[in-house]
Amino acid sequence: MRKIMREDLLSLEKYAEQRLAFRDRVMVHKKDRRLDLGTNAVLYFEDRLTMHYQIQEMLRIEKIFEADSINEELDAYNPLIPDGSNWKATFMIEFPEVEERKKMLSRLLGIESRVYVQVADFDRLFAVADEDIERSDDHKTSAVHFMRFELPSEQSTALKSGAPLIAGIDHENYMVEVRPVSEAVRASLINDLS
């Protein structure tokens, strides 16, 4: 997928005029890019449209209009756009109660390296997590991680030919498998593969 360039972005004024319609389009798009992994974990698969929206929102919220600052946002978010042989996702661990969340983030240490996708009967592909910065320490994991799933060409080909997609987490304190991933999510993710 092509990365986002400065010329792809709307000015703050133009974005304000188009924001609601753009947001509505992105929210519809995101529905087929969300994958619940049990009751407390979610993968949000990113792509060019979701990142374009994220950048526009950051520019709006921070009132960024200077070239250097815009380039910093592009440098931060462009790496989350798939490269044609992978999927990129934001992984979130969601426990609504603060005390339970603290306890579980401690119990789920290392979970970010135990999230996987699997095409049909091929081997599981575990996520490469947090390539930008470490988000866990010796005592707890973070509630948010950024992940990449690198798909070998034969698995991409199998998916495009109709092979089912499976996803899950294989952690001693959180085990779940989605078998198969819904057709809507699967079809949306196939679009990320060139």
Give the DSSP H/E element, type plus range, for residue 54.
helix 48-62
pLDDT over 90 (residue 131) = no
Give the DSSP H/E element, type plus range, for residue 116.
strand 115-119
Structural domain boundaries of the chain?
Answer: 1-31+48-81, 35-46+82-194
Quote the pTM value.
0.92
Report residue 171: phi and psi, to 5°.
-120, 140
Q: State mean pLDDT over 166-194.
A: 97
Per-residue pLDDT tens over the stretch 101-111: 999 999 999 99
Number of neighbours of residue 135 by Cβ within 10 angstroms: 15
Q: How many separate helices (H) and strands (E) can be counted in the chain?
A: 6, 9
Of 25-39, 72-86, 110-124, 136-150, the poorest mean pLDDT is in 136-150
In angstroms, the CA 185 to CA 183 distance is 6
Per-residue pLDDT tens over the stretch 28-44: 999 999 999 999 999 99
Per-residue pLDDT tens over the stretch 145-163: 999 999 999 999 999 999 9
**Predicted local distance difference test score (pLDDT) of residue 36:** 98
**Predicted local distance difference test score (pLDDT) of residue 138:** 81
Q: State mean pLDDT over 104-121.
A: 97
Task: Decide which of 2.60.120, 1.10.10, 2.60.40, 1.20.950 is the CATH code for 35-46+82-194.
Answer: 2.60.40
